[in-house]
Structure 1
Amino acid sequence: MSSMQLFLNATSPYARFVRVLGLELGLEEQIELIWVDPWQNDPALLAVNPAAKIPTLRCASGQCLSESLLIAQYLQQHPQATASAAAGSEQDLAWLGLGQALMDAAFQSVIHKKYHPEAVKSLLDQRRQAALQRLLAELEQQVDQGKLAASAPTSSLSAGQLSLFVGLDYLAFRCPELDWPTQAPQLAAWHQSLAQRTSLSSTAFH
């Protein structure tokens, strides 16, 4: 029986990151997925998070947690986790930050284009696009230097690596015009090497 409830939708990179991490930690039987629409003031979501943000995790105690990185920290420390996706090293914390930055820049670009199409070439949009370019260049360099390497299908992935994968996947999903794999071919190869991992393929954006 599920002891936690995860409120999410199918297109949020933040929610997918938490869902993937839960799968990697072996907590899928402990987490019930509650699908909601945060853009429609879904009553089920408002009942657990007055800010109407996803992901939100309702713990077995009834306490509700928001913000993906805080939820991730909670899940990593969960006593029923049967696997490890530990964050904590300087490198992995750096990857978590870069993954979050990818998600932030891509998500904000999507919302900007959706609600302010007349200002798509604004200074803020230009800064976001420049940030994405720098992030891709940094990650491409890390693959080239061997810091970010492909893992065997059965090996564990860190929270930071999962965050990077989801961020890159979201960028391809929502900003295909950027065609990031062409700009960062070694990074694209790393991304592709993980694409068939069950936790990632079963949670693909749609």
Structure 2
Amino acid sequence: MKLYLNGTSPYARVVRIAAIEKQLEDRLELCWVDPWQSSPDFLAKNPVSKVPVLETDTGESLTETLLILFYLDRQQPTPTLLDSPEGLALLGLGQALIDAAFQTVIYRKYAENSAQHPLEKRRLDAITRTLATIEEQISTHKTAKNHALRFCDIAIGVALSYLDFRLQEIDWRTDFPHLAQWFEPVSHYRSFTVTRFQ
């Protein structure tokens, strides 16, 4: 399989971590691309020019993060990274947090006076609310110990890492100490350390 990615995409990092946790790392060829360049070769893989893209062994291009995660989970029965309905709810919150943070970063990059725009406040408010909801729910969620992380752990962990990487003014560790405590051991998993944003 081939994974098309870059070093700053939280979506691509989620997939790469999942592949490592699924013990599929040896089957995965990493293809580093700049999706903003929209090269013809990459557009042939994904016409919207976004990462990640997973090219399967049979040549299909899978282009959405959650779709790729579910595909990877079926490639090897154990360990399964799918979870209970509670875990799926947390996966959705983790994905939503990534979305809000990523959209904030991209909007700031290309929009003039973004700080005054209502969308900026709306997204930052969404980030705060989502962090609060995750912290409330994470208190009863048992993260895997010394074995594979689940998809919800991966998505939330990457989202928090992305806030540290791109939105450092959000002091989520101070505001959400239980979430910070949850994140500490997750951040030291090998799958997280070898995929740090660059």
Give TM-score scaled by structure 1 length: 0.91
Does the 8 A contact of 1:38 with 1:52 survive in 2?
yes
2:197 equivalent in structure 1 = 205
Q: Partners of 2:154 and 2:49 in 1: how far apart?
A: 25
Q: Does 1:46 align with 2:39?
A: no
Aligned length: 198
Q: Among residues 157, 161, 166, which one is paired with 1:174 in the alignment?
A: 166
Same amino acid, percent of matched pairs: 43
Local SS of the residue matching 1:77: helix
Q: Deviations over 1:40-86 (max 9, x none)?
A: 113432221111111001111111110000000100001xx274143
Gaps of 5+ in 2: none
Does the 8 A contact of 1:150 with 1:193 survive in 2?
no
Gaps of 5+ in 1: none
1:96 equivalent in structure 2 = 91
Please report the RMSD computed on the Cα atoms of aligned residues, expressed in angstroms. 1.4
Q: Deviations over 1:92-122 (max 9, x none)?
A: 1101100111100000000111101313221
Local SS of the residue matching 1:50: coil
Does the 8 A contact of 1:26 with 1:82 survive in 2?
no
Local SS of the residue matching 1:47: helix
1:147 equivalent in structure 2 = 140
AA aligned opposite 1:19: R
Local SS of the residue matching 2:2: strand
Does the 8 A contact of 2:22 with 2:148 survive in 1?
no
Q: Among residues 187, 193, 196, which one is paired with 1:195 in the alignment?
A: 187
Does the 8 A contact of 2:81 with 2:151 survive in 1?
yes
Give TM-score scaled by structure 2 length: 0.95
Q: List structure 1 segments (4+ residues) > 2 angstroms apart after TM superposition.
A: 148-152
1:121 equivalent in structure 2 = 116
Q: Partners of 1:185 and 1:117 in 2: how far apart?
A: 34
Q: Partners of 1:15 and 1:109 in 2: how far apart?
A: 18
Cα distance, 1:22–1:179 mapped onto 2, change above 3 Å:
same
Q: Partners of 2:188 and 2:67 in 1: how far apart?
A: 27
Q: Does 1:58 align with 2:50?
A: no
Does the 8 A contact of 2:54 with 2:63 survive in 1?
yes
1:21 equivalent in structure 2 = 18
